[in-house]
Structure 1
Amino acid sequence: MSKKNKSKADTFFSCIEKNFDKATRFIPPIEKGLLEQIKSCNAVYRMHFPVKIGKKIKVIEAYRVQHSHHKLPCKGGIRYSLKVNQDEVMTLAALMTYKCAIVDVPFGGAKGGIKIDPQTISVENIEKITRRYTSELIKKNFIGPGIDVPAPDYGSGEREMSWIFDTFLSLIPGEVDALACVTGKPLSQGGVRGRKEATGLGVFYGIRELCRIKEDMLSLGLDVGLDGKKVIIQGLGNVGYHAATFFHEAGAIIVALAEREGAIYNKKGLNVSNVILHLKNTGSILNFPGSKNIENTEKALELECDILIPSALENVIHKNNANRIKAKIIGEAANGPVTPDADEILGKMGVIVVPDIYLNAGGVTVSYFEWLKNLSHVRYGRMEKRFSENVNSELLQVIETICRKKILTEEKKMILRGPREIDLVRSGLEDTMISGFHKIRDIKKSSGIENMRTAAFVLAIKKIIDSYEKLGIFP
């Protein structure tokens, strides 16, 4: 089927709409127009701007989509890729709206995209493009601490976010909250510790919580806990790498890792750190000592395992391969890795799919913490760290006096240490992911919903409806 003849039913955005419509069956009767408002993208800004690359002028295609204004600012990353298109950016913006609602982050969903390949463009020219893109957003009032706050996404990172912040500050001088115009910044520019690993750590917390539920594990024929569970991770980017590391540290066995060029397998387990070192030295994960190469990376999805974590691309599990999936749990670390058709098949097979709109919300959760830090102009832990250490010291002295026994120096250091910024960030993320999981599970059980995805959408829609009603827009 040609792209011109591609029907709406085939688009990424339509998959989200299908899931939304399915969830509305479990929502109490409500004005249809309100549901249409929640589902629709509020603003789509498509732009073309010229940038001088070498001796030639190149016209850059870029986007910023604000899906929902039920809460402000809007929030979402900026993707740098030749595959960027309006449908993809609209879909990712919609997912952001629902993610934020599920994990109680007070943002509307947004997303951005610049249609370039950052691997083939010099750093100097990426900077030119990023700064010009930022100026275009400023012209149309599509960026600001209380309007729309971008973040990193595929192809972008701290470097690009620092350019966005600098451009914003230079064009809007005197803005006291300018640091909060973008998140994912370097620590030296108001970034927060723990942001890099946030999405992968959120994936870990979500799956770990599922594996703690005895009832759910019994239904899958698995033991409670992560220890000894066989895990396959597709994609070793920022999300996949950190998720793999945390699963490995928790005692899970990483039996396979998949990348674009292929996959590696070892039933006894792979050491993630050693695989990454091998990747840096050779440019590929293939031929890792002690592992078996799998040329077709998609075949790695079909290997025997307990937990499958697709953390790369959308639609990698579809109606043509879903019935060959052997995993009992699928954690959607990527956006939209399972199609609606595949979802139906996996549900009938008894597979638990932990949906993307909950599971990969760790990134936006910690971005929220960074935004709050920037608005407060105080780093986390600055006010309470020394106080906590002093209180703990006094308690230890009392305990030693009562017990008439000295506590070992190393143990004393552990007890006395006050919370650091990263401790507070990770604690907040852990609490958010655990709370979100149980809210979804409770709705699933109480409403008789067949899967977690539909329950997650129900939770998100109910929260957004509640926001609109509190605003008084829809009585």
Structure 2
Amino acid sequence: MSKNQNKTGSYSFFNCIEKNFDKAAQFISIEKGLLEQIKACNSVYRMHFPVKIGKEIKVIEAYRVQHSHHKLPCKGGIRYSMKVNQDEIMTLAALMTYKCAIVDVPFGGAKGGIKIDPQTISSENIEKITRRYTSELIKKNFIGPGIDVPAPDYGTGEREMSWIFDTFLSLRSGDVDALACVTGKPVSQGGVRGRKEATGLGVFYGIRELCHVKEDMYSVGLDVGLVGKKIIIQGLGNVGYHAASFFHESGAIIIALAEREGAIYNEKGLNVSKVFLHLKNNGSILNFPEAKNIKKTEKALELECDILIPAALENVIHKNNANRIKAKIIGEAANGPITPEADEILDKKGVIIVPDIYLNAGGVTVSYFEWLKNLSHVRYGRMEKKFRENVNAEFLKVIKTVCKKPISIEEKKMILRGPREIDLVRSGLEDTMINGFHKICDLKKSLKIGNMRTAAFVLSINKIIDSYERLGIFP
């Protein structure tokens, strides 16, 4: 057993990324030492700090990792989980670097984590921990609009981001750009509309674009388009829920949804909104009236389907179950859901894998829009919305004159409406995901690379190299 493997034979999360990086490096002509610099994490900040919880003082373990400084600020979420460890945070920071490069978001990758279980800690104590963590980051210059900009991740959300912003502002009073020190904030505190569903919507846009490529669809025996495609989604958190909702609205058939406690299945399709309401009311997706239960979550991954979307944990598809996966397409909505061994097995089977470093980049893309909004101090749409409505009104007059036909009230509203912030954000996200997809596919074809993952890494590494060369760092 390799030193990089654990007792089950699976590689560590960070080593999985390194293996994918090394595959891509074979297609890049550059000195090995420079590739090693790109692969390595630049800064790892591990901290322990005391917080009084109840009558006791607890020592909290936390991390902030900055993987790359090829562009600044660094960018990445903060997760609260008892599973947080250095290997995980380093891996997620590396993934952020590659994601940002692929979708042309000018950030270096970073990630943070606090080793706590937010489900067992009161809101008051979570606030204490969040504020103390923020102050520790400020002490070491690990947070700031031009330095390192956190965002929500597993176990965190708008609430925690607002505490981070407030703490930063209190310790850096007078900083005119303080709003840009963190993204994923409530809209009332400088957040951007559309951020919450951004990762799930990005997953939808990426898979939709793949389903429009005739060559790829025919290679796996599927028709072009999303309508009628049978989809299984593992994980009904923020990413999985929104991805499922957008797929359902587009005419795809969600035949199974899987959570920790098990899965539910209906070959004719599940109504995502009804399932989510059932989950909210009962604390579990199991026993949903319009579906049958599947006791083991992993069994749901092995059901017959067109598209499988793992949207929860890493390494859920591994060498022991890869041969039983029947999906023709796998979209990695989660970070690292497929191990390197499983990757090779699925590749030989002809399964199309849309990699995480591209597919779940929707969140950081919209975080970028929020960061720009905070730095410009102008809400999206404020300057052009009324102008566009006036132009559309003139356009409507021309249509009436030329067509000489009545226009319904609904049609008038649609034509006259100027772009709202959420319209602009979603338009920008859609364009970003479509462009990223085609850049990966074009590179895959030109270099005759066998799969999208390796092509995505090659694209990412080349963009990072270009950034370093522009800075004059590489000889």
Query: The TM-score by the shorter chain falls in which range?
Result: over 0.9
Look up the match of 1:384: 384
Deviations 1:419-461 (A, max 9, x none): 0000000000000000000000111111111110000000000
TM-score by length of 2: 0.98
Give the C-alpha shift of residue 254 in structure 1: 0.3
Give the C-alpha shift of residue 10 in structure 1: 2.5
Aligned partner of residue 315 in structure 1, secondary structure? coil
Look up the match of 1:36: 36
Query: Quick check: 1:9–1:15 contact (8 Å CA) kept in 2?
Result: no
- Does residue 230 of structure 1 match 2:236? no
Give the C-alpha shift of residue 402 in structure 1: 2.7
Deviations 1:98-152 (A, max 9, x none): 0000000000000000000000000000000000000000000000000000000
Give the C-alpha shift of residue 358 in structure 1: 0.2
State how many pairs are aligned: 474
Look up the match of 2:310: 310
Give the C-alpha shift of residue 395 in structure 1: 1.1
Partner amino acid for 1:264? I
Structure 2 vs 1, CA of residues 4 and 124 (structure 1 numbering), >3 Å: closer, same or farther?
Answer: farther
Look up the match of 2:11: 10
Look up the match of 1:189: 189
Give the C-alpha shift of residue 409 in structure 1: 1.8
Structure 2 vs 1, CA of residues 330 and 46 (structure 1 numbering), >3 Å: closer, same or farther?
Answer: same
Query: Identity of aligned pairs, percent?
Result: 86
Look up the match of 2:264: 264
Question: What is the alpha-carbon distance in structure 2 between the residues aligned to residue 270 and residue 239 of structure 1?
Answer: 17
Question: What is the alpha-carbon distance in structure 2 between the residues aligned to residue 433 and residue 15 of structure 1?
Answer: 24
Structure 2 vs 1, CA of residues 136 and 439 (structure 1 numbering), >3 Å: closer, same or farther?
Answer: same
- Equivalences for residues 305-454 of structure 1 within 5 A: 305-454=305-454
Name stretches of at least 5 consecutive residues in structure 2 with no aligned partner.
none
Question: What is the alpha-carbon distance in structure 2 between the residues aligned to residue 4 and residue 277 of structure 1?
Answer: 42
Deviations 1:185-205 (A, max 9, x none): 000100000000000000000
Partner amino acid for 2:307? I
- Equivalences for residues 152-171 of structure 1 within 5 A: 152-171=152-171
Look up the match of 1:292: 292
Give the C-alpha shift of residue 406 in structure 1: 3.4
Partner amino acid for 1:289? P
Aligned partner of residue 120 in structure 2, secondary structure? coil
Look up the match of 1:101: 101
Give the C-alpha shift of residue 6 in structure 1: 4.4
Question: What is the alpha-carbon distance in structure 1 between the residues aligned to residue 284 and residue 67 of structure 2?
Answer: 38
Query: Quick check: 2:13–2:87 contact (8 Å CA) kept in 1?
Result: yes
- Does residue 468 of structure 1 match 2:452? no
Question: What is the alpha-carbon distance in structure 1 between the residues aligned to residue 277 and residue 284 of structure 2?
Answer: 10
Deviations 1:287-345 (A, max 9, x none): 11121100001000000000000000000000000000000000000000000000000
Name stretches of at least 5 consecutive residues in structure 1 with no aligned partner.
none
Aligned partner of residue 77 in structure 1, secondary structure? strand
Structure 2 vs 1, CA of residues 395 and 445 (structure 1 numbering), >3 Å: closer, same or farther?
Answer: same
- Does residue 117 of structure 1 match 2:114? no
Question: What is the alpha-carbon distance in structure 2 between the residues aligned to residue 197 and residue 227 of structure 1?
Answer: 21
Question: What is the alpha-carbon distance in structure 2 between the residues aligned to residue 5 and residue 50 of structure 1?
Answer: 34
Structure 2 vs 1, CA of residues 175 and 31 (structure 1 numbering), >3 Å: closer, same or farther?
Answer: same
Question: What is the alpha-carbon distance in structure 1 between the residues aligned to residue 348 and residue 229 of structure 2?
Answer: 23
Look up the match of 1:22: 23
Question: What is the alpha-carbon distance in structure 2 between the residues aligned to residue 21 and residue 402 of structure 1?
Answer: 61
Look up the match of 1:276: 276
Query: Quick check: 1:134–1:168 contact (8 Å CA) kept in 2?
Result: yes
Question: What is the alpha-carbon distance in structure 2 between the residues aligned to residue 101 and residue 201 of structure 1?
Answer: 19
Query: Quick check: 1:262–1:294 contact (8 Å CA) kept in 2?
Result: yes
Partner amino acid for 1:184? G
Query: Quick check: 2:205–2:433 contact (8 Å CA) kept in 1?
Result: yes
Aligned partner of residue 51 in structure 1, secondary structure? strand
Give the C-alpha shift of residue 282 in structure 1: 1.2
- Equivalences for residues 192-271 of structure 1 within 5 A: 192-271=192-271
Aligned partner of residue 263 in structure 2, secondary structure? strand
Give the C-alpha shift of residue 17 in structure 1: 0.4
Give the C-alpha shift of residue 399 in structure 1: 2.0
Aligned partner of residue 70 in structure 2, secondary structure? coil
Give the C-alpha shift of residue 32 in structure 1: 1.8
Partner amino acid for 1:435? N
Aligned partner of residue 134 in structure 1, secondary structure? helix
Give the C-alpha shift of residue 5 in structure 1: 8.9
Look up the match of 2:73: 73
Look up the match of 1:459: 459
Aligned partner of residue 390 in structure 2, secondary structure? helix
Deviations 1:158-193 (A, max 9, x none): 000000000000001100000000000000100000
Look up the match of 2:90: 90
Partner amino acid for 2:146? G
Look up the match of 1:144: 144
Aligned partner of residue 119 in structure 1, secondary structure? helix
Query: Quick check: 2:204–2:243 contact (8 Å CA) kept in 1?
Result: yes
Partner amino acid for 2:21? F
Query: Quick check: 2:4–2:11 contact (8 Å CA) kept in 1?
Result: no
Deviations 1:354-407 (A, max 9, x none): 000000000000000000000000000000000000001011112212333332
Look up the match of 2:54: 54
Question: What is the alpha-carbon distance in structure 2 between the residues aligned to residue 238 and residue 162 of structure 1?
Answer: 18
TM-score by length of 1: 0.98
Deviations 1:55-101 (A, max 9, x none): 10000000000000000000000010000000000000000000000
Give the C-alpha shift of residue 4 in structure 1: 11
Question: What is the alpha-carbon distance in structure 2 between the residues aligned to residue 382 and residue 446 of structure 1?
Answer: 42
Aligned partner of residue 82 in structure 1, secondary structure? coil
Question: What is the alpha-carbon distance in structure 1 between the residues aligned to residue 92 and residue 235 of structure 2?
Answer: 19
Give the C-alpha shift of residue 34 in structure 1: 1.2
